[in-house]
Structure 1
Amino acid sequence: MVLLDNLLPILDLSTGAMVVKSIIALYFAILFLQSGIDKVVNWQGNLSWLTGYFSKTFLKDRVPAMLGVIAVTEVVAGAFSAIGIVELLLIDGYSFALYGAALSTLNFVMLFFGQRIAQDYDAAAAMTNYFTIGVIAMIILGVPL
């Protein structure tokens, strides 16, 4: 019975919506801040790996620019998501969380494109799951509290 009593506030539609939106924003904040910061901190390692990954594609000469775009998009998506958590908790707003989810989903599309061009079909197939999560997150975050 104690468990049910603890869950009742989450089941309230307005509070429950805020909790779900906050968890979505937290997921994207963790995912993209870690990934984006790793790309910045370990630039050479990522650049080296991606240069080999795209070595047989028409993108081979664009790897540094692509890595830069992906790194910036990831950091901004993660930062917007983190700001979105604060916005959700303090003022019941959700704009930044929605922007974070939208940038996250855009990032998934860019990664999917690169994987398809590199003919890494298994990784591209796995990216579809992330894309689906991103689209669902945008739908949930786009609904007013």
Structure 2
Amino acid sequence: MIYLKQHPAEILILFYLIITFTYSFMEKVFDWKNTVNYYREHFKDTFLKNAIPLLLVIVIIMEMISVYFCVTGIYSLTFENKNRPALYGLFFVAFTLIGLMLGQRIAKDYAGAMNITVYFILSIIGILLLQ
């Protein structure tokens, strides 16, 4: 049975985050050299400057896990009316965004941190809708 009518907002939020995070991790992977150089410059005056490649790998893994659970979450909501994978996806999204926001604050990029907050709020709305 298809349960689209029971979860339209949740599915749209998950779909939006899938697009956002898929593009984000693919951009990092396929343009690795420029991405590392960009973030080295961005964090040049912080204690994170020498750990950029490792931190990027962690971010990529978190983004991939987020996408995996968001995709399985859409499937579970649509065909099984179960929300657990979707909740896992939104939690991974939220934790990933907290890490990214912390990095922006460390770099003193307050506008960048503020931009991340929009995605964080969206993930929290998704979590609230699924409870």
TM-score, normalised relative to structure 1: 0.82
Match of 1:6 in 2: none
Amino acid at match of 1:98: L
- What is the CA–CA distance in structure 2 between the aligned matches of 1:18 and 1:27, rounded to whole Å? 14
Alignment check: 8 A CA contact 2:21 2:67 kept = yes
- What is the CA–CA distance in structure 1 between the aligned matches of 2:122 and 2:73, rounded to whole Å? 17
Aligned-residue offset at 1:17: 3.6
Aligned: 1:137 with 2:126: yes
1:52-91 → structure 2 map (5 Å cutoff): 52-91=41-80
Q: Which has the larger radius of gyration?
A: 1
After superposing on structure 2, the runs of 4+ consecutive aligned residues of structure 1 that deviate more than 2 Å are: 14-17
Q: Does 1 or 2 have the higher relative contact order (CA < 8 Å, sep 6+)?
A: 2
Aligned-residue offset at 1:16: 4.1
Match of 2:117 in 1: 128
- What is the CA–CA distance in structure 1 between the aligned matches of 2:62 and 2:124, rounded to whole Å? 17
Amino acid at match of 1:139: L
Match of 1:31 in 2: 20
Aligned: 1:47 with 2:17: no
TM-score, normalised relative to structure 2: 0.91
Alignment check: 8 A CA contact 2:13 2:122 kept = no
Superposed CA deviations along residues 34-67 of structure 1, whole A, max 9, x for unmatched, are: 2112211211111110011111101111111110
SS of 1:107's equivalent in the other structure is helix
Alignment check: 8 A CA contact 1:108 1:131 kept = yes
Aligned-residue offset at 1:15: 5.5
Alignment check: 8 A CA contact 2:22 2:63 kept = yes
